Amino acid sequence: MIPTHVNRRTRHSPVLATAVLLALMPRAFAQTDPLPSWNETPVKQAIVDFVREATTEGQPGFVPTDERVAVFDMDGTLVPERPVPLALVPVLDDIQQAVEAKPMLRDRPAVAALLKGDVATLHAAGEQGIVDLVAVTTDGRTTEEIVQNVRPLIEGKTAERFGVPYSQAVYQPMREVLALLEANGFTNWICSGSPLLITREVSQGMFGIPPERVMGSHVGTRLDERDGRTVLLFDGTIGRLNDGEFKPVTISLAMPTRPVFVAGNEGGRGDIAMMRWSKDRDGASFQLLVNHDDAAREFEYAEPDEYSLNAAQRYGFHVASIKHDWKTVVGTVEGEQK
């Protein structure tokens, strides 16, 4: 790995040579393995190689600093999306409380389906179902009132599968990818199908991503006044369902360039469009698709037609198998296996 001429120089001036070496090596590679929770597989090597190339001027894969943008899906990519997506954790509480207060809310099909965990009926309820659920959840509260309990609810509830609060149920290997990219000048963003207002409440604490760099779904709101003070209230419309082909649209409104690095997951068909949007940029790029193939340590599921896995093959995306590529799934900061 170390070029011969540098080895020769070490004989004469080891201190200088070490300094030169350290200066030449990207920071995150200088001393320790940047991805300790990954097994030594080709995917891990590909990530490390990509970042090294992206940060080495003169390499074909070099990416100028101001283009180093990485976009991550959240549910199923950074955190488990089973049994429920992260953003539903606080919402379920709201809905249960609302239904206790007003039992007639059970008559709305989407509400009843959600409380029963009847996913098929929930999907069949479509946009009207979402509007009903949002109406029940918000229950006349302002946007600011709605979000104020999100963080304590996610911190306070245990993700049973992993025995830690939802706020700590983050994929350790993906945490390391986030950190590796950030250490090498990348700006990390989230582009999630989950509600923007809920997701950005936990993005800094869980992923080190500031709220301004979160893209997500949202409902329509309108300006109103309460006691002479301006507030925002749900207006009964869907603003944007940020999934599939809408994700590149959302990304294009948030930033002027196509992202260089995009991570998504098999399971909901939702991330292929934004991965293609990245792949089709001018210059180097990297797409990572997380595959949920580990029933023993996480969950095992896929789209019936394996649409996303097939797309990864067709377009040359990298697939991270939870079973084979990840040493740890949900870990502590020390990387303890769960």
Residues that bind a copy of itself (CB under 8 A): 143, 147, 196-197, 200-201, 211-213, 218, 221-223, 229-230, 232, 239, 245, 248-249, 252-256, 273, 276-277, 280
Shorter beta-carbon distance to a copy of itself: residue 201 or 325: 201
**Closer CB to a copy of itself, 143 or 321, in the complex:** 143
Q: 275 vs 288, which CB is nearer to a copy of itself?
A: 275
Q: What residues pair up with 330 in beta bridges, in sequence order?
A: 171
Residue number, 280 or 336, with CB nearest to a copy of itself: 280
- Residue at token pair 């769960």: 338
Other Cβ atoms within 10 Å of 212 Cβ, number? 10
| CB of 200 vs a copy of itself, minimal distance in Å | 6
Q: Which is nearer to a copy of itself, 207 or 299 (CB)?
A: 207
Q: Would you say 30 or 253 has its CB closer to a copy of itself?
A: 253
Residue number, 100 or 227, with CB nearest to a copy of itself: 227
Nearer to a copy of itself, 71 or 105 (CB): 71
Distance CA 48, CA 288 (A): 13
Per-residue 3-state assignment (H helix, E strand, C coil) for the chain: CCCHHHHHHHHHCHHHHHHHHHHHCCHHHCCCCCCCCECCCHHHHHHHHHHHHHCCCCCCCCCCHHHCEEEECCECCCECCCCCCCCHHHHHHHHHHHHHHCHHHHHCHHHHHHHHCCHHHHHHCHHHHHHHHHHHHHCCCCHHHHHCCHHHHHHHCEECCCCEEHHHCCEHHHHHHHHHHHHCCCEEEEEEEEEHHHHHHHHHHHHCCCHHHEEEEEEEEEEEEECCEEEEEEEEEEEECCCCCHHHHHHHHHCCCCCCEEEEECCCCCCHHHHHHHHCCCCCCEEEEEECECCCCCCECCCCCCHHHHHHHHHCCEEEEHHHHECCCECCCCCCCC
